Structure 1
């Protein structure tokens, strides 16, 4: 099971291959497609089958 399946709207994530995109906030997670609004890349739809997003839990971002 992919950890992406546990992502919920409002959670903060990073894209492991695109650190310059900054932090992203999950907008939706439907059918393996995670829509994320990134600080420096805008809205991006991620295919969970290919990219494992990294949850951010640190309050001192």
Structure 2
């Protein structure tokens, strides 16, 4: 399986495609396949990057 999040780096802003209520998140660390993201509405979450393709946000709100 192709790594869906290979371009992510700490500091980037993302959204979870299946959890819009979590709001904007900032990538804290990327240790594939684990991606730690601090979301505005739910706090720190560890994402399995081989299962979820996070959506990059280039125009921070």
**What is the TM-score when the length of structure 1 is the normalising length?**
0.90
Task: Tell me the distance in 2 between the aligned counterparts of 1:31 and 1:2.
Answer: 9
Which ranges in structure 2 are unaligned for 5 or more consecutive residues? none
**What is the TM-score when the length of structure 2 is the normalising length?**
0.90
Which ranges in structure 1 are unaligned for 5 or more consecutive residues? none
RMSD: 1.1
Structure 1 runs (4+) deviating above 2 angstroms are none
Structure with bigger helix share is 1
The number of residue pairs the alignment matches comes to 60
